[in-house]
A and B are shown apart, each in its own frame.
Chain A
Amino acid sequence: MTGLRRLSEGGRIDRHRPVRFEFNGKNYAAFSGDTIASALLANGESLTARSFKLHRPRGIISAGIEEPGTIVELLDGDASANQPATIVQATDGLRIKSVGCWPSPKLDFGGINQLFASMLPAAFYYKTFFWPSWRLYEPLIRRAAGRAFAPRCPPDGGRYEARNWHCDVLVAGAGPAGLMAALTAARSGSRVLLADQGMEAGGSLLDQIVEIGGNSAEEWVADTVAELSAMENVVHLQNSLVWAYREHNLILVCERDLHREGILERNWRVRAKRVVIATGSTERMLVFPDNDRPGIMLASAVRSYVNRFAVRPGTRAVVVTNNDSAYSAIRDMLSAGIEVAAVVDSRESVSETVSRGTGGIELLSGHEIARVFGRRRVRGVSVMPIEGRGEQHIDCDLVAVSGGWNPSVQLWSQSRGALRYDEALAAFVPGKAAQPAVCAGAAAGDFTLEEAFMGGARVGANIIGEPELAHGMKIPAVDQEPPYRIQPIWHARSASVRPHSFVDILNDVTLQDLHIAMREGFRSVELMKRYTTAGMGMDQGRTGNMAVISAIADASRKSPGDVGVTTFRSPTAPVSFGSIAGIREASVALPYRHTPVTEWNIEQDAVMYEAGARWRRPGYFPRPGETMQDAVNREARAVRESVGVYDGSPLGTFEIKGKDAPRFLDMLYTSSFSELAVGQGRYGLMLSDDGLILDDGVSFRLGKYRYLASTSTAHADAVYRHMTKFLAIERPNWEVWIADLTSQWANATICGPLARKTLSALGTDIDISRKGFPFMALREGTVAGFPARVARVSFTGEVSFEINVRPRDMKALWAAVMEAGREFGITPVGSETSHVLRVEKGFLSTGHEVDGTVDPFDLGMGWVMSRKKSDFIGKRSVFLRRKSGKPRRRLVGLLTLDARRVLPEGAPITNGGRKEPTEGFVTASVWSAVNERSVALALLEDGRDQLGAEVHIRLPDEVIAATVTSPCFHDPEGKLLRG
Chain B
Amino acid sequence: MQRYSIFSLARHALAGHRNWQRAWRSPPLKEKYEVIIVGAGGHGLATAYYLAKNHGVTDVAVLERGWLGGGNVARNTVTVRSNYLRDESIPFYVKSVKLFEGLTRELNFNLMYSKRGMVDIVQTYPKLRNLRRRMLAMDIFGSTYKPMTVSEIRRRIPALTGGGTDSRLPIIAGMLHPDAAVSRHDAVAWGYARAADGRGVSIHEHTEVKSLRRGSDGAINGVETSRGEVAAEKVALAVSGHTTTLTETAGLRLPLRTFNLTAFVSEPVKPVINMIVNCPDLGVYLSQSDKGELIVGGAPDPGQSFRRDIKQTVFEDSVCAMLELFPAFKRLKLLRQWGGHLDFAHDASPIMSTTDVPGLFVSAGWWGGYKAIPAGGLTLAHLVATGEPHPLMAPFTLNRFRNLEFISETGTTAVF
- Chain A positions near chain B (C-beta within 8 angstroms): 79-82, 118-119, 121, 124-131, 134-135, 138, 141-143, 145-154, 160, 244, 246-247, 250, 252, 269, 512, 515-516, 519-522, 524, 526-527, 530-531, 538, 567, 569-571, 574-578, 580-582, 584-587, 589-590, 592, 609-610, 612, 687-688, 690-695, 714-715, 718, 721-722, 846-848, 850-853, 877, 880-881, 883-884, 886, 904-908, 910, 915-918, 921, 954-956
B330 touches A578 (CB 8 A): yes
Residues of A within 8 Å of B109, CB to CB, are: 126-127
Picked from A81, A82, A526, A848, the residue with its CB within 8 Å of the CB of B70 is A526
What separation, in Å, do the CA atoms of A455 and B172 have in the docked complex? Answer: 60
B20 touches A519 (CB 8 A): yes
A81 touches B337 (CB 8 A): no
20 A-B pairs within 8 Å (CB atoms) are namely A81-B333, A118-B17, A121-B17, A134-B112, A142-B290, A143-B270, A153-B327, A516-B20, A526-B67, A527-B67, A567-B338, A577-B334, A580-B319, A690-B346, A690-B406, A847-B413, A853-B405, A886-B405, A921-B136, A955-B136
The answer to whether residues A154 and B330 also contact, given A119-B13, A146-B292, A526-B67 and a CB cut-off of 8 A, is yes
Residues of B within 8 Å of A521, CB to CB, are: 22-26
Residues of A within 8 Å of B67, CB to CB, are: 524, 526-527
Picked from A127, A520, A531, A574, the residue with its CB within 8 Å of the CB of B8 is A127
Q: A80-B331, A147-B292 are in contact. List 7 more A-B contacts (CB 8 A).
A: A516-B20, A577-B331, A592-B168, A687-B414, A692-B414, A693-B413, A852-B411
B320 touches A589 (CB 8 A): yes
What separation, in Å, do the CA atoms of A138 and B139 have in the docked complex? Answer: 29
Picked from A79, A592, A852, A955, the residue with its CB within 8 Å of the CB of B412 is A852
What separation, in Å, do the CA atoms of A531 and B23 have in the docked complex? Answer: 12
Picked from A119, A586, A907, the residue with its CB within 8 Å of the CB of B168 is A586
Q: Specify which of B69, B140, B414 lies most central, judged by the most chain A CB atoms within 10 Å of its CB.
A: B414
Picked from B69, B140, B170, B187, the residue with its CB within 8 Å of the CB of A916 is B140
B271 proximal to A (CB < 8 A): yes
B115 proximal to A (CB < 8 A): yes
CB nearest to B312 among chain A residues: A246
CB nearest to A851 among chain B residues: B411
A877 touches B404 (CB 8 A): yes
B123 touches A610 (CB 8 A): yes
The answer to whether residues A538 and B9 also contact, given A244-B310, A516-B20 and a CB cut-off of 8 A, is no
**How far apart are A730's CB and chain B's nearest CB, in angstroms?**
16
Residues of B within 8 Å of A124, CB to CB, are: 9
**How far apart are A399's CB and chain B's nearest CB, in angstroms?**
26
What separation, in Å, do the CA atoms of A118 and B16 have in the docked complex? Answer: 8
Residues of A within 8 Å of B187, CB to CB, are: 126
B23 touches A520 (CB 8 A): yes
A881 touches B405 (CB 8 A): yes
The answer to whether residues A145 and B309 also contact, given A81-B332, A519-B20, A954-B140 and a CB cut-off of 8 A, is no
A149 touches B110 (CB 8 A): no
What separation, in Å, do the CA atoms of A519 and B321 have in the docked complex? Answer: 44
**Across the A-B interface, the 3 shortest Cβ-Cβ residue pairs:** A906-B133, A146-B292, A578-B330
Picked from B21, B271, B336, the residue with its CB within 8 Å of the CB of A520 is B21
A520 touches B20 (CB 8 A): yes
Count of inter-chain pairs, beta carbons less than 8 A: 320
Which candidate, B30-38, B218-226, B261-269, is the interface stretch facing chain A? B261-269
The answer to whether residues A884 and B403 also contact, given A141-B290, A520-B23 and a CB cut-off of 8 A, is yes
B291 proximal to A (CB < 8 A): yes
CB nearest to A150 among chain B residues: B269
CB nearest to A138 among chain B residues: B114
B385 proximal to A (CB < 8 A): no
B270 touches A956 (CB 8 A): no
Which candidate, B124-132, B232-240, B356-364, B376-384, is the interface stretch facing chain A? B124-132
A126 touches B133 (CB 8 A): no
Residues of A within 8 Å of B272, CB to CB, are: 150
What separation, in Å, do the CA atoms of A148 and B330 have in the docked complex? Answer: 15
What separation, in Å, do the CA atoms of A247 and B113 have in the docked complex? Answer: 37
B179 proximal to A (CB < 8 A): no
A516 touches B169 (CB 8 A): no
CB nearest to A612 among chain B residues: B126
What separation, in Å, do the CA atoms of A691 and B405 have in the docked complex? Answer: 10
B290 touches A138 (CB 8 A): yes
A586 touches B269 (CB 8 A): no
A516 touches B70 (CB 8 A): no
What separation, in Å, do the CA atoms of A714 and B281 have in the docked complex? Answer: 14
**How far apart are B212's CB and chain A's nearest CB, in angstroms?**
25
B6 touches A82 (CB 8 A): no
- Chain B positions near chain A (C-beta within 8 angstroms): 4-6, 8-10, 13, 17-18, 20-26, 66-70, 74, 87, 104-105, 108-115, 123-126, 129-130, 132-137, 139-141, 159, 161, 167-170, 172, 184, 186-187, 190-191, 205-206, 266-272, 288, 290-292, 307, 309-312, 315-316, 319-324, 327-338, 346, 402-408, 410-414, 416
**How far apart are A44's CB and chain B's nearest CB, in angstroms?**
30
**How far apart are A628's CB and chain B's nearest CB, in angstroms?**
12
CB nearest to A616 among chain B residues: B168
What separation, in Å, do the CA atoms of A830 and B161 have in the docked complex? Answer: 30
B9 touches A127 (CB 8 A): yes
Residues of A within 8 Å of B403, CB to CB, are: 880-881, 883-884, 886
The answer to whether residues A850 and B413 also contact, given A585-B320, A589-B320 and a CB cut-off of 8 A, is yes
Residues of B within 8 Å of A252, CB to CB, are: 312
The answer to whether residues A585 and B115 also contact, given A81-B333, A577-B333 and a CB cut-off of 8 A, is no
What separation, in Å, do the CA atoms of A575 and B140 have in the docked complex? Answer: 46
Residues of A within 8 Å of B316, CB to CB, are: 580-582, 584
What separation, in Å, do the CA atoms of A159 and B2 have in the docked complex? Answer: 55
CB nearest to A923 among chain B residues: B133
The answer to whether residues A581 and B323 also contact, given A130-B5, A512-B17 and a CB cut-off of 8 A, is yes
Picked from B159, B191, B267, B405, the residue with its CB within 8 Å of the CB of A574 is B267
Q: Specify which of B187, B332, B413 lies most central, judged by the most chain A CB atoms within 10 Å of its CB.
A: B413
**How far apart are B111's CB and chain A's nearest CB, in angstroms?**
8
B332 touches A530 (CB 8 A): no
What separation, in Å, do the CA atoms of A570 and B104 have in the docked complex? Answer: 33
**How far apart are B18's CB and chain A's nearest CB, in angstroms?**
8
A577 touches B205 (CB 8 A): no
What separation, in Å, do the CA atoms of A145 and B293 have in the docked complex? Answer: 10
Residues of A within 8 Å of B168, CB to CB, are: 586-587, 589-590, 592
The answer to whether residues A880 and B332 also contact, given A119-B10, A585-B327, A904-B132 and a CB cut-off of 8 A, is no
CB nearest to A497 among chain B residues: B16
Residues of A within 8 Å of B133, CB to CB, are: 905-907, 921
What separation, in Å, do the CA atoms of A244 and B312 have in the docked complex? Answer: 10
A586 touches B413 (CB 8 A): no
What separation, in Å, do the CA atoms of A905 and B129 have in the docked complex? Answer: 7
Picked from A121, A531, A851, A883, the residue with its CB within 8 Å of the CB of B13 is A121
